[in-house]
Every structure is written in structure tokens, then in C-alpha cells.
């Protein structure tokens, strides 16, 4: 009986009390211990609500991550604020910090979030980590006296390997590498040299893992999702996917529900998906508040199964619902409703395909 696996991407909007507490902590109005207590409360509540959707695989909703990008450097002592600026279509921006001295070391490993999440559930827990290519952008173009870029990259590769390996050892069901800068790289550099450099860097990390380990490692890409806006949705998948599937990972989590040219996306996946790789199509549009029906999601997957081999097909959400901690553009109840629709719609697609 063919089955279609389904997994979340990761982040869930933080509850209002946690948003308020994070703001209060930034103003030194509450103690860190008080904030940590609320992180734990929100993590537990999120996991229980994810369990209630029927999702067979869950995450901690990234309730205590400052953002999906910056968790490894939260508290790093050598940072300046004026790093790379990422513009979004609606006009707002995000700015990465830059490092000012070495040696570079992660301050937080994603396994710490996994360890806490596993206390609250018996279900499989996936854990997201940031792509090494994203962290490579923290090195300033002007360089750092006494700390060459080559040494930074060597240190970064070691830290990124540790980040993934600690999650695998810690019992993560899957480890998802967030590579949302992939399409952005094509927008910044249509020659594809930047994207190829990013892929080469990520593969330098993945080459340190065995084939069996890489089956539990996946790559997520989307055109960015922040405050209901994107940074690179105008870049077609046909430009990205032939290179993306060269990454030496077992699973690929792709935005799909919000894509307008779905047939061309499926065609590109079919042409480039490698044996042993599985593609998880996003079936919920995280930037649209309308809740998809299970029937709609089922039809998306049934249609996709006509082009993508069923044993290489899975379902997911287009992106995380709140990749940055201050993003409250999506209500928590909408996020959980969309996840339930994904779970129910995937089960319905299985039923239809098995009845043929």
C-alpha cells in the first residue's frame, strides 16, 4: 500500500504572551529565567497542539529560537549589526549581523532545542538547522585582521557538521537544512556562480556524513517567507532545481502551493530528482490566511503523483509559519488548521491512490 509521508517545515507563530515577554526582556523589564519559563510553556503548548492535528512528525515550532538563521550566533561576542541586507517584495528588510573577530564558534546548537522537545512528546521530532551557506554571509567583505576568510570557512564547516551530527545523535527523526537563500542567490547573481558556490559549500558539510546518515538529512528551500512577503518568488524553479538536486541530501522540502506554474515545477522536479531522493511538496500556502481543504490538498498530491514517482513523493508546508520570532502575520490557530488540513489531505490522497 503506497504511503505519502508528511512533515512540517518547523516554525509556528509564538503566542501573544511570549511575544510580550520577549519585548519586555529586550527592555530589561523581566529576568532571563522568567523568559525561559515562558519559552518552555510555549514549547509544550505548541507540541501538544501539533499532536492534536494528527501530524505523524512534529517540531517544537521554534518557539525559543530568535530566528531560523541567527540561533547559532545568539550571544556571540564579536558581532556588528551592519551585515548583509535582505530586501523583501513589500519593502521591508532583514539585516544579518557580521562577525568582527574569530575564531568562529556556534553559541547554540540546534540539538538543544531537540532535547527539550523530546521531553514533551513520544512522536518523532524533526529538527531544522541553518545552512552553512547562510552563515558564510556573516564574514564581512572587507575581511578581518588576523582572521582570514579561509580560516573562517574551515571553522564554519566544523561547526555546521557538529550542528547536524548532534541532532542525528540526539535522535532527530530528520534534520532539515534551511536553505532559503538558494533562490535569492539566483536573483542576486543570474550567472549562477553564487548559487553554485553555496551548493558546493553545503556539500562540503554533507560529504562528512555517510549515505545512511544523509537519508535522514533534508534541504528546505522557498522564496523567503516573512511578514507575508517574499524575497525571491519571481525566480522560477526551472532555474533552481537542476542545481538544487545536486545537493547530497535525501529529502527536499519545496514550496509548491503558492507557485503559479505548477506543471512546470513538477516537470522540472521529474527531470532533476535523483534516485534515492524524495521531494516533499508544500501543499499549504503559509502566506495566505485562507485554510486549504483536505480535498484541495489531496488533489494537489494526486496530480503530482502522475508525474513524480509515488515512492519519491511527500507533503509539507510551503515554509515555516514564523521563521523570525517577531513575525506575527499568521495567527497560531490558522497555522494549526493548515497543518491539520495537510495531514488530512495527505491521508485522503493515499486513500484515493490506493483505491485505483
Task: Return the CATH number at 54.
Answer: 3.20.20.210
Say what the pLDDT of residue 2 is.
Answer: 65
Q: Which residues pair with 226 in a beta bridge?
A: 229
- What is the β-pairing status of strands 217-221 and 251-254? parallel
Whole-model pTM: value is: 0.96
Residue 310: name the closest of 338, 349, 343, 344 by CA.
Answer: 349
Q: Count structural domains, the chain.
A: 1
Length of the chain, in residues: 356
Instruction: Name residues of the chain where pLDDT drops below 50.
Output: none
Asked if residue 6 is part of any domain, the answer here is: no
Asked if residue 175 is part of any domain, the answer here is: yes
Question: What percent of the chain is helix, strand and coil (3-state, nearest 5)?
Answer: 45, 15, 45
Asked if residue 111 is part of any domain, the answer here is: yes
Say what the pLDDT of residue 143 is.
Answer: 96
Residues whose CB is less than 8 angstroms from the CB of residue 188 and which lie 6 or more positions away in sequence, other chains included: 194
Say what the pLDDT of residue 354 is.
Answer: 86
Asked if residue 9 is part of any domain, the answer here is: no
> In a 10 Å sphere around its CB, with 0-12 CB exposed, 13-18 middle and 19+ buried, how is residue 271 labelled?
exposed
Beta-sheet strands, E only, within the chain: 79-80, 85-87, 93-95, 98-99, 127-130, 175-178, 217-221, 251-254, 278-282, 313-316
For the record, the C-alpha cell of 77 comes out as 561576542
Other C-beta atoms within 10 Å of 169: how many? 10
Report the alpha-carbon angle 310-312-315, nearest 5: 85
Asked if residue 1 is part of any domain, the answer here is: no
Asked if residue 8 is part of any domain, the answer here is: no
Asked if residue 309 is part of any domain, the answer here is: yes
How far apart are the C-alpha atoms of 304 and 179, rounded to whole Å?
23
Say which residue the cell 505548541 belongs to.
46
Say what the pLDDT of residue 119 is.
Answer: 96
Asked if residue 11 is part of any domain, the answer here is: no
How far apart are the C-alpha atoms of 170 and 279, rounded to whole Å?
24
For the record, the C-alpha cell of 239 comes out as 532555474
- What is the β-pairing status of strands 313-316 and 278-282? parallel
Domain holding 245, by residue range, is 16-354
Amino acid at each position: 500500500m503506497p504511503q505519502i509521508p508528511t512533515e512540517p517545515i518547523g516554525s509556528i507563530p509564538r503566542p501573544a504572551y511570549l511575544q510580550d515577554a520577549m519585548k519586555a526582556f529586550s527592555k530589561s523589564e523581566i529576568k532571563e529565567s522568567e523568559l525561559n519559563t515562558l519559552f518552555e510553556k510555549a514549547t509544550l503548548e505548541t507540541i501538544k497542539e501539533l499532536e492534536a492535528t494528527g501530524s505523524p512528525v512534529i517540531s517544537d515550532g521554534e518557539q525559543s529560537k530568535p530566528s531560523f538563521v541567527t540561533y547559532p550566533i545568539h550571544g556571540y561576542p564579536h558581532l556588528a549589526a551592519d551585515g548583509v541586507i535582505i530586501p523583501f517584495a513589500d519593502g521591508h528588510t532583514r539585516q544579518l549581523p557580521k562577525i568582527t573577530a574569530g575564531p568562529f564558534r556556534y553559541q547554540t546548537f540546534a540539538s538543544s532545542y531537540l532535547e527539550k522537545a523530546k521531553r514533551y512528546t513520544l512522536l518523532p521530532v524533526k529538527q531544522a538547522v541553518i545552512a552553512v551557506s547562510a552563515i558564510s554571509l556573516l564574514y564581512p567583505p572587507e575581511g578581518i585582521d588576523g582572521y582570514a576568510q579561509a580560516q573562517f570557512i574551515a571553522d564554519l564547516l566544523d561547526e555546521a557538521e557538529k550542528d547536524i551530527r548532534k541532532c542525528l545523535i540526539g535522535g532527530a527523526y530528520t534534520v532539515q537544512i534551511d536553505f532559503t537563500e538558494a533562490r535569492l542567490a539566483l536573483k542576486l547573481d543570474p550567472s549562477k556562480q553564487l548559487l553554485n558556490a553555496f551548493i558546493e559549500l553545503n556539500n562540503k558539510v554533507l560529504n562528512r556524513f555517510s549515505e545512511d546518515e544523509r537519508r535522514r538529512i533534508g534541504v528546505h528551500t522557498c522564496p523567503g517567507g516573512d511578514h507575508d512577503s517574499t524575497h525571491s518568488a519571481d525566480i522560477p524553479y526551472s532555474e533552481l532545481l537542476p542545481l538544487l538536486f545536486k545537493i547530497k541530501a535525501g529529502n527536499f522540502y519545496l514550496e509548491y502551493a503558492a507557485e503559479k506554474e505548477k506543471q512546470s515545477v513538477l516537470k522540472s522536479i521529474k527531470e532533476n530528482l535523483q534516485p534515492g531522493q524524495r521531494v516533499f511538496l508544500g501543499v499549504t500556502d503559509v502566506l495566505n490566511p485562507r485554510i486549504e481543504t483536505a480535498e484541495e490538498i489531496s488533489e494537489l498530491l494526486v496530480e503530482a503523483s502522475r508525474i513524480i514517482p509515488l515512492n519519491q513523493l511527500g507533503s509539507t508546508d510551503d515554509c515555516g509559519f514564523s521563521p523570525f520570532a517577531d513575525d506575527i502575520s499568521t495567527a497560531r490557530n490558522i497555522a494549526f488548521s493548515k497543518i491539520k488540513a495537510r495531514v488530512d489531505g495527505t491521508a485522503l490522497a493515499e486513500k484515493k491512490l490506493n483505491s485505483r
